[in-house]
Amino acid sequence: MNPHHHSSYLNPNSLKSRFTKNFLRSLIKINKQTPFPCRPTEMFQRCHKVKTAADKSLACAVGSRRVWSRAMLCKIRNRALRRGPQKPPSVRRIIINNRTMKKGFNCLKEKMNDDQEAGIDQTSKLRKLVPGGEAMDLCNLLDEAAHYIKCLNTQVQEIHDAERIESLGKD
């Protein structure tokens, strides 16, 4: 992991650098929008915004290459849309699965085999965790999960590093 670690700092196009760029940009935006909140509710909202920003920047960094990143972007956009006009959740569900519903019955048949392959609880749990995992067969699901884990790792590391640097700076 270490050689990659170094190279990713230097490589301007790596996932890490893309994510960091997006994340910092969105953080600056958030800071500009709201002054530092004092009340807990405001703080909570702000935290939520930060988390959303983190997720969104990760998904953008990955781009449309992966099913889960597409699903995540859809979800975020729909959520943003929903904040404005009040759309019912059912509509959101349709929008998210629009792309993946093309598989039709093949998916169902494979999902039944998937449940035989591994435990039924586990596959359903995994589907819920990985964004966009509802309509994938086990093979692709595992693939997406692996990539998702990798990206989550990057995300966590980046946020933590940025936070550490910031705290050092404050001192």
Partner 1 sequence: MHPCSREMQGINYVLNPSSQIPLQDLQNQQHQQIQNSPFDPSSSSNDDFLDQMLSSLPSSSWADLKSPWDLNPPTSLNIPINNSSAKPREDETPPSMPENVGFHNFDESVILAAKLRQHQISGGPSPAVAAAAKAMLQQQLMMATRGGGLPQNDVVDGSSFKSPTRGDGSVQALYNNGFGAGSMHGTGQASNQSQQHFHHPQEGSLQAQNFSTPGAGAGMAMNQPQASGSTGGAPAQPRQRVRARRGQATDPHSIAERLRRERIAERMKALQELVPNGNKTDKASMLDEIIDYVKFLQLQVKVLSMSRLGGAAAVAPLVADMSSEGRGGAGGGGDCIQATANGGSLPRTNSNSTQTPSSNDTLTVTEHQVARLMEEDMGSAMQYLQGKGLCLMPISLATAISTTTSHSRNPVLNSNHHSLLHSNGEGPSSPSMSVLTVQSATMGNGRGDASVKDAASVSKP
Among 28, 80, 91, 149, binds partner 1 (CB under 8 A): 149
Nearer to partner 1, 4 or 51 (CB): 51
Decide: 141 and 133 in contact? Cβ < 8 Å. yes
Q: Considering only 13-21, 41-49, 59-67, 92-100, which stretch makes contact with partner 1 by CB under 8 A?
A: 41-49
Nearest to 55 by CA among 33, 32, 79: 79
Q: Based on C-alpha coordinates, what's the Rg of the chain?
A: 19
Is residue 163 a contact point for partner 1 (CB under 8 A)?
Answer: yes
CB of 64 to partner 1, least distance (A): 21
CB of 7 to partner 1, least distance (A): 19
CB of 148 to partner 1, least distance (A): 7
Which token pair is 144? Answer: 């997406």
Is residue 80 a contact point for partner 1 (CB under 8 A)?
Answer: no
Q: Quickly count: other Cβ atoms within 10 Å of residue 125's Cβ.
A: 12
Residue 36 DSSP one-character state: P
Is residue 25 a contact point for partner 1 (CB under 8 A)?
Answer: no
Q: How far is residue 73's CA from residue 65's CA, in Å, rounded to a whole number?
A: 12
Among 80, 81, 91, 139, binds partner 1 (CB under 8 A): 139
